[in-house]
Amino acid sequence: MLNIYARHQVDSPHRIVIVGGGAAGLELATRLGNGVGKRRQAEVILIDRFPTHFWKPLLHEVASGQIDASSHQIEYASHAKWNHFRFEQGALSSIDSGSREIVIDETTDVDGRALLPRRTLRFDTLVLALGSVTNFFSIPGAEQHALTLETVEQAETFRRRLLSSLLRSGQARQATPGAVKTPVSVTVIGGGATGVELAAALRGSAEMVRDYHLASLDPASDIRIRLLEGAPRVLPALPERISTRAQEVLAGLGVEVRLGCRVQSVDAHAVSTADGETLASDITIWAAGVEGPPVLRALEGLPLNRLGQVIVDGALQVEFGSGIYAMGDCAACAASKGDALVPPRAQAAYQQAVYLADALARRLDDRPVPLFSYRDQGTLISFGRAGAAGALMSELLRRPLFIDGWFAASCYRHLYRRHILGLTGIKRAVMYAASQWLRERVRPTVKLN
């Protein structure tokens, strides 16, 4: 078999192409760029459909208006320049594993005009890090009428719609004092981490809108927040103690939680449940699960599981010796213990990127490569202004360590700081944190436009 990793010794440098610059892909490109890229042992290229990176676990804070996405985005092009890799904007549309080429779709600007043509790119090693998309489970109307939280644009759409609905509702109250008013109803479908975090943040957003815009808005009664979950408890994949805490917090925030509630269909202004109820809903958001991006199904020859994720071996490789890898949410990788898969989480994406940066460098040097092993470090759930809760996995105690309140909230913040630190290094991370701190001091505490 051709040793694809030795090619750089005989002709052009070994080319590593990473597709997807999210939690996994950007971390990997940065590490490889500063290692094999800087040493000119390999050429590292990152492809993403967008020009900027945003850390997805913050999307619910964009949706609730608590942070301004623009101050948390990293420009791929400048990040690439500083970290010895190359960036190309465009969406992957096909792979030819025989000729070892990928096809990238035409890139357009915001007005839809062509920026870069459809093009092919040769690779020696290809890493797929395309993330995931919302799984609507074929529920009628869900894809057409429910909003999702996959990208900054979608989070902004939700925020704008919520703000307009609250403003309209407040104006109506001022115009006809004493009239019986129906609250703005927001339905969050899915009581996993995303759904719980968003539902918890919304009451605080309404309070902030009142503080800045509308003295007449009553955040307790003018917005009705419902969270629908099919399982008997929220956060069904997490320890029961965290679910109980989340349910207490949501109840305290006046979020109506319906458990064992199966959604049957969604339309423009209502959600219908399997037990025959129709719930009025001005804004519906779908946060009930993820699956592999559709482009993976269109790529010939990739082994996919039933959720459309790429099946990889213990070295995150698609097929032994193929030189094609997958990591993060788009990969189906067995966790080291039992049959379970590595969960679609930022910490898994990070661990896989760290592993692959080392593994690919070892392969280039012809050194032995260990297998990937996932370490669950615990989970933290943010409740916005109401703090956070979670469990840290402690190897010392050999059991989860439950944390709550301000300590949990600062651990939650620390995860994002660690992500930025890993990407930018200490000097830039400090400047970045300082600039965010300053911006937060000069902007309202909720985004108002």
Q: Does residue 33 interact with ligand FAD by CB under 6 A?
A: no
Interface with ligand FAD, residue 128, by CB under 6 A: no
86: which residues sit within 8 A by CB, 6+ positions away? 43, 44, 45, 46, 80
Q: Is 447 in the site for ligand FAD (CB under 6 A)?
A: no
Q: Does 328 bind ligand FAD (CB under 6 A)?
A: yes
Asked if 61 is part of the footprint of ligand FAD (rule: CB under 6 A), the reply reads: no
**146-150, Cβ contacts within 8 angstroms, sequence gap of 24 or more:** 146/189, 146/266, 146/284, 146/285, 146/286, 147/283, 147/284, 147/285, 147/286, 148/285, 148/286, 148/287, 149/59, 149/60, 149/63, 149/194, 149/198, 149/285, 149/287, 150/56, 150/59
Q: Which range in 52-60, 166-174, 242-250, 261-269 contacts ligand FAD by CB under 6 A?
A: 52-60
Which residue of 8, 60, 224, 245 would you call a contact of ligand FAD, by CB under 6 A? 60
**Segment contacting ligand FAD by CB under 6 A, of 110-118, 217-225, 271-279, 340-348:** 340-348
Which of residues 329, 376, 389, 403 is near ligand FAD by CB under 6 A?
329
DSSP strand pairing (270-273 vs 278-280)? antiparallel
Q: Contact between 65 and ligand FAD (CB under 6 A)?
A: no
Q: Is 74 in the site for ligand FAD (CB under 6 A)?
A: no
- The full 3-state SS of 338-349, as one line of letters, equals CCCECCCCHHHH
Range in contact with ligand FAD (rule: CB under 6 A) among 9-17, 57-65, 77-85, 308-316: 57-65
Which residue's CB is nearer to ligand FAD, number 96 or number 218? 96
Q: How far apart are CA 87 and CA 18, in angstroms?
A: 10
Is 54 within 8 Å of 69 (Cβ atoms)?
yes
Shortest distance, position 17 Cβ to ligand FAD, whole Å? 11
Other Cβ atoms within 10 Å of 122 Cβ, number? 13
Which burial class, exposed, middle or buried, applies to 10 when counting CB atoms under 10 A from its CB (0-12, 13-18, 19+)? exposed
Pairwise CA distance, residues 124 & 294, whole Å:
24
Which segment (31-39, 49-57, 222-230, 398-406) binds ligand FAD by CB under 6 A? Answer: 49-57
Q: At what angle do helices 193-212 and 240-252 cross, to 10 degrees?
A: 20
Provide the token pair at 348: 């898994």
- Residue 127 contacts ligand FAD per CB under 6 A: no
Q: Which stretch binds ligand FAD (CB under 6 A): 54-62, 112-120, 223-231, 246-254?
A: 54-62
Choosing from 13, 49, 135, 385, the residue that interacts with ligand FAD (CB under 6 A) is 49
C-alpha–C-alpha distance, residues 173 and 210, integer Å: 13
Q: Which pair of structure tokens corresponds to residue 210?
A: 């009142």
Closest approach, Cβ 388 to ligand FAD, in A, equals: 10
Question: 91, 315, 411, 429: which one contacts ligand FAD (CB under 6 A)?
Answer: 91
Indicate whether 47 belongs to the interface with ligand FAD (CB under 6 A): yes
Contact call for residue 50 and ligand FAD (CB under 6 A): yes
Bridge partners of 325, per DSSP, are 127, 317
**Binding residue (CB under 6 A) for ligand FAD from 29, 59, 74, 409:** 59
Closest among 47, 126, 125 to 92, alpha carbons compared: 47
**Residue 387 — φ and ψ, nearest 5°?**
90, -145
By CB under 6 A, what part of segment 1-30 binds ligand FAD?
A: 19-25
Tell me if 349 contacts ligand FAD by CB under 6 A: yes
Q: Which of 92, 238, 326, 360 binds ligand FAD (CB under 6 A)?
A: 92
Residues near ligand FAD (CB under 6 A)? 19-25, 47-50, 56-57, 59-60, 91-92, 129-131, 149-150, 193-194, 293, 295, 328-330, 344-347, 349
